[in-house]
């Protein structure tokens, strides 16, 4: 398929329908290892699509309880991580990156010849010298990475839509890896699938999360909000002009038809200003993105994540950092603004 003059390998539901995916995986038992961020969405979508799905999760844990609440039955479709891995022919390794490192010594003994090891992030394999995760040579190693959270994957599936995903084959031991990975991508509810590699997936993903998806956008929001407040604008005005109008009005227009269409459907004053200023912002942040990508490519960003997320007090420190965001004036103002939306009145 052609994207702006560049050919890419894309698989659509029309080319690879659900019926074909079910035929490819009809004899497979798919174990979802981990029921945290991606696990629930992928497990429920696969189950609803008619695949044989079991869940592996440590007990006791909130995630185990969530799996039970979602209809997975202990001893029938819900097991310990080790038992689920032993029972499965395809193991979807959906624990956090830090947890994957910790569990790997126990999981790898269940990777018997012919099985498939599935990831939704290229982190573990790409940075194998740091994670220690080196799959045996006689299993398929594949990836489907939804371009969004597990929550979004599930919500779009329930709404009859789909979240686009990338796919990759790191190792094809059986000769069936391609059909397997595409079938799984269709099974979890992907809108369409585009091919990548484990390395490209993790490089783009880490850059995106720290960039326009989360880190950079929070930085831009904070910079504009703080400026407006320093110039005497009220919290409500500063938040509405910085966040609310973007997320509730303009970003949906971009999602609908693109940035050019959004520009064309704004006032001529807004058009002129946006066209005059966007390149200044691009040029200002380009060096930051270049630094970010280099940190990712050299593995230093991965190592920081491993070092931080593997500490026993990680959750406590994370909650403190998230609380700082939550208690900031901007997001406290946002809480009030959201409560005043007509549908929440």
Active site residues: 121
Contact 131, 103 (CB under 8 A): no
User: How many Å apart are CA 225 and CA 330, to the nearest integer?
Assistant: 7
Report helix, strand or coil for 28.
Answer: coil
Separation of alpha carbons 339 and 345, rounded Å:
7
Of the candidates 57, 14, 65, which has an alpha carbon nearest to the alpha carbon of residue 34? 57
Q: List all residues 6 or more positions away from 128 whose beta carbon is below 8 Å from its beta carbon.
A: 134
DSSP-H helix ranges across the chain: 18-24, 39-48, 62-69, 81-87, 97-107, 123-126, 128-131, 150-158, 177-187, 198-210, 215-230, 235-239, 245, 251-257, 259-264, 268-297, 300-309, 314-327, 329-339
| CB contact at 8 A, 199 and 166 | no
Could you give the angle at the alpha carbon of 307 between the alpha carbons of 304 and 312, nearest 5°? 140
CA-CA distance, 25 to 27, in Å (whole number)? 6
CA 317, CA 301: separation in Å to the nearest integer?
18
Backbone angles phi, psi at 133, to 5 degrees: -95, 100
Which two three-digit tokens encode residue 180?
Answer: 């397997």
């Amino acid at each position: 398929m052609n994207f702006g003059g560049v050919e890419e390998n894309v698989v659509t539901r029309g080319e690879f329908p659900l019926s074909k995916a079910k035929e490819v995986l009809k004899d497979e038992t798919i174990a979802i290892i981990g029921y945290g961020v991606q696990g629930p969405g992928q497990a429920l979508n696969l189950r609803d699509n008619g695949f044989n799905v079991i869940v592996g999760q440590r007990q006791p844990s909130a995630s185990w309880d969530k799996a039970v609440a979602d209809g997975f039955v202990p001893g029938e479709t819900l097991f310990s991580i080790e038992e689920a891995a032993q029972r499965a022919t395809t193991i979807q390794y959906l624990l956090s990156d830090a947890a994957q490192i910790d569990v790997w010594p126990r999981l790898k003994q269940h990777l018997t010849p012919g099985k498939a090891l599935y990831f939704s992030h290229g982190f573990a394999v790409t940075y194998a010298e740091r994670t220690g995760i080196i799959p045996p040579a006689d299993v398929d190693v594949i990836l489907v990475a939804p371009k969004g959270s597990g929550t979004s994957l599930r919500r779009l599936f329930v709404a009859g839509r789909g979240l686009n995903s990338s796919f990759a084959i790191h190792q094809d031991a059986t000769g069936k890896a391609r059909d397997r990975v595409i079938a799984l991508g269709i099974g979890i509810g992907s809108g369409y699938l585009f091919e990548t590699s484990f390395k490209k997936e993790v490089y783009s993903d880490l850059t995106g999360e720290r960039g326009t998806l989360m880190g950079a956008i929070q930085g831009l929001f904070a910079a504009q909000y703080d400026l407006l407040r320093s110039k005497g604008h009220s919290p409500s005005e500063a938040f509405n002009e910085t966040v609310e109008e973007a997320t509730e009005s303009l970003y949906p227009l971009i999602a609908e038809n693109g940035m050019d269409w959004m520009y064309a459907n704004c006032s001529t004053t807004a058009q002129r200003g946006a066209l005059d200023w966007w390149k200044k912002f691009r040029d200002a942040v380009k060096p930051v993105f270049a630094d970010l990508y280099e940190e990712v490519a050299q593995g230093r960003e991965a190592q920081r994540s491993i070092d931080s997320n593997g500490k026993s007090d990680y959750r406590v420190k994370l909650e403190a950092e998230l609380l700082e965001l939550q208690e900031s004036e901007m997001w406290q103002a946002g809480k009030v603004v959201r409560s005043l939306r007509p549908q929440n009145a």
